[in-house]
Amino acid sequence: MQVIGTTKDEEKAFQCYLKSAEGGSHEGKNNIGYCYSNGIGTIKDEEKAFLKHPIVPEGGDSDAQFILGAL
């Protein structure tokens, strides 16, 4: 992805997703799981990725259901 006017910072993005997830955002929870499963902005940890995703499918997020099925 091309970044214009700023420096790409995956660790900061991870922290923003984490804050969003803690605030109850289904998308934030989904992004945290994605980051853990791919080592984006954090250490790759498939167990944490799996543990973050189950909450989201219960909320009806079809993208999260797909990602959880792929883990």
* pLDDT tens per residue, range 54-69: 554 455 556 655 665 5
Report how far residue 51's alpha carbon sits from residue 45's, in angstroms, rounded to the nearest whole number: 10
pLDDT value for 33: 86
Question: Higher confidence at residue 68 or residue 31?
Answer: 31
Q: What's the number of CA atoms in the CB half-sphere (13 Å) around residue 59?
A: 16
Please state whether the predicted TM-score (pTM) of the whole model is above 0.75: no
| Token reading at 14 | 């991870």
pLDDT tens, residue by residue, 36-48: 989 999 999 988 8
51 in Cβ contact with 21 (< 8 Å): no
Provide the domain count of the chain: 1
**Which is nearest to 30 in space by CA: 43, 71, 2?**
71
Residue range(s) defining the domain that contains residue 20: 1-70
